Structure 1
């Protein structure tokens, strides 16, 4: 079994045995047609591991804190799906150039208070970013939560994420690519 397969098995087991706040059951996985529709709407492909989470485990409803957002038309009332949130954030950034939303940065989990965990779908390792808009300025609102989606999932599985009650709040590294990515992303 590959490392990726092992990780998916561990995530699947935990997903079937725990419910994040607001979820009463684990939603069914999305089918490949829904994944293709989501990627067509976004204009980019999801990282392989993220796509596998949605296709093999569930349409959101598992993961740290409030869990992963539904992908496209998910079942959680009151919380927009990841694709819908991404499009809204991109549009909002076009209307307010002081708060641009980087191209290819998909919100995958809502932390409350307008904070989101996001996957940089254009980075080879699928870096997980924390968007913290309460920082005051857009360029100071982005932090590297985990160097990869794999690392982010392992922290959740091991109970070692910064969001755990017993964890100390870490010193988060600012996301260095924000200016570059928003300057390039404004054309699309």
Structure 2
């Protein structure tokens, strides 16, 4: 079993038993057509691990705190989907140039108070970023939550994420690429 297969198996096992915010079951996985529609709307491909989470485990509803957002279609009881959040925030950025949303950075999980965990889909390792809009300015609203999506999932599985009560006071590193990416240029 490859490392990714093992990770997916561990996430699947925890997702079946851990339902954030009173959900009673895990949503069904998305089909290939839904993944294709999401990528077409976004204008970029999802990292393979993220696509596998949605296609092989469930359409959101699992993961740290509130869990992953649905990928493309949300139910009336859910606030939004990952794709809708990205599209809306990119549009909103045009109206407020001081708070530009970085190209290729997909919100995947809501933390409350406007905060989101986001995957940088344009960087090979798919770092997970924390968007904290309660900062004084956009330069101080972006942090590196985990160097890769795999690391972020392992922190959830192991209970070592910054959001765990036992880890209060953990400092996150600011995301230095914010300004470059918000202007629409890609990371090498």
Query: What is the TM-score with the length of structure 2 in the denominator?
Result: 0.96
- Counting matched residue pairs gives 186
Q: Give the match for residue 95 of structure 1.
A: 95
Question: What does the per-residue CA deviation read over 1:158-188, in whole Å, with 9 as the maximum and x for residues that have no partner?
Answer: 0111111111221110001001111125xxx
What SS class does the counterpart of residue 50 from structure 2 fall into?
helix
CA distance in 2, matches of 1:125, 1:140: 23
**Distance in 2 (alpha carbons) for counterparts of 1:78 and 1:154:** 26
Residue 71 (structure 1) aligned with residue 85 (structure 2): no
Instruction: Indicate if the aligned counterparts of 1:72 and 1:82 stay in contact, CA closer than 8 A.
Output: yes
- Identify unmatched segments of 5+ residues in structure 1: none
Per-residue deviation at 1:146? 0.2
In structure 2, the residue matched to 1:31 is 31
In the TM superposition, what are the counterparts of 1:77-88 in structure 2 within 5 Å? 77-88=77-88
Quick one: distance in 2 between partners of 1:5 and 1:56?
11
Alignment of 1:122-161 (within 5 A): 122-161=122-161
Structure 1 runs of 4+ with >3 Å offset: none
Show the counterpart of 2:45.
45
1:23–1:76 contact (8 Å) kept in structure 2: no
* Contact 1:27–1:75 under 8 Å retained in 2: no
Contact 1:70 1:76 in 2 (8 A): no
Q: CA RMSD in A?
A: 1.3
State how far apart, in whole Å, the 1-side matches of 2:30 and 2:76 are.
14
Q: CA deviation at 1:78?
A: 3.6
Unaligned runs of 5+ in 2: none
User: What is the CA–CA distance in structure 1 between the aligned matches of 2:123 and 2:22, rounded to whole Å?
Assistant: 30
Q: Distance in 2 between matches of 1:177 and 1:44?
A: 19
Deviations along 1:93-115, one digit per CA (max 9) or x if unpaired, are: 01110100001000000000000
Rounded to whole Å, the distance in 1 between the matches of 2:164 and 2:76 is 23
Q: 1:122-150 deviations in whole A, cap 9, x for unaligned?
A: 01000000000001111110000000000
Q: Which residue of 2 aligns with 1:184?
A: 184
Give the drift of 1:22. Answer: 4.6
**Structure 2 Cα separation of the partners of residues 34 and 7 of structure 1:** 23
